[in-house]
Amino acid sequence: MENIEEFKKSWSQNKAVTSGTDSFNEESLRKIIKQRAKQQQHISMKYFWASFTLQIIVYALLSHVMVKYWADTPVSLISIFCTLLYVPFTVMLLNKFKRMAILKVDNEHTAGLPIYEYVSQQHALLASFYRFKRKYELILIPLSSAILIWIFFRIYLPGGVNAYPIAAIVCFLITLASCMAAIVAENKKRFRQPLAQLDLILKDFAQ
């Protein structure tokens, strides 16, 4: 038997797959829903706290510097500037995770869309956030690393970066390299790989 039509008959007559025992009652379904909601919230919140903790550290450090060195105008101004630099990213992050964390039945859930539309939408959402994140990181990371090193040298070393230019540059490069390594690894895992997989599905649709 090599004709697909004959296999189709066997397929419709084969009850092995459809005659299982896993039907659901209200209690079992409610249990599953609770479990999955908790699991999804846990995954979202793990990433949220990882990103948010870093921002809390930056805000705490800058606030501390602002309060303690209020009389030192350049330090205060630079600290305020650096804080303002982080605000849009924090707002964006909070908005994104607010949507993820509030897991309720709503009219925005898209799993009922046709497959192509669903995959395209997922791709567009992820790609737009990734584009924003990359552009922002390209400016934010070098700039905030430079500012933090400048503040550190200004507060703790007499003469600041002007007195120790090579040490300042080395510190800046080390900070930048470690931040970049972490960001590249994070982007690969959370953005580039999922986007590549979604691209594959979309390419398959285009064939």
Partner 1 sequence: MEAPLDHKFIQQVNQNIGIARKVREIYFTGSDEREDVLQEMMYQLWRSFPNFKANAKFSTWMYRVCLNTALTYLRKSKRNKNEAIIPEHHLISVNADNQHENTAMLYKAIEGLSAVNKSIILLYLEDMSYEEIADVTGLSKSNISVRLVRIKKDIEAQIRKKTNITEDGKH
Of residues 39 and 53, the one with the C-beta less far from partner 1: 39
- DSSP letters, 45-89, are HHHHHHHHHHHHHHHHHHHHHHHHTTT-HHHHHHHHHHHHHHHHH
State the Cα–Cα distance between residues 40 and 180, nearest whole angstrom. Answer: 28
42 binds partner 1 (CB under 8 A): no
Q: What CA–CA distances, in Å, run from 46 to 18, 40, 84, 88, 145?
A: 37, 10, 25, 21, 25
CA–CA gap between residue 140 and residue 90 (Å, rounded): 12
Q: Which residues of 165-184 are buried (b: 16+ CB within 10 A; e: fewer)?
A: eeebeebbeebeeebeeeee
**Minimum distance, C-beta of residue 183 to partner 1, in the bound complex (Å):** 22
Q: Report, in Å, the least distance between residue 203 CB and partner 1.
A: 9
Indicate the helix (H) or strand (E) that contains 4: helix 4-13
15 phi and psi, to 5 degrees?
-100, 0
Site for partner 1 in 79-118 (CB under 8 A): 103-107, 109-118
| Under rule CB under 8 A, residue 136 binds partner 1 | no
112 vs 159 by CB, closer to partner 1: 112
**Residue 122 near partner 1 by CB under 8 A:** yes
| Closer residue to partner 1, CB minimum distance, 63 or 204 | 204
34 binds partner 1 (CB under 8 A): yes
Q: Which is nearer to partner 1, 126 or 179 (CB)?
A: 126
**Total residues contacting partner 1 (rule CB under 8 A)?**
52
Q: Which residues bind partner 1 (CB under 8 A)?
A: 1-4, 6-8, 10-14, 16-18, 20, 22-26, 29-30, 32-37, 103-107, 109-119, 122, 194, 197-198, 201, 204-205
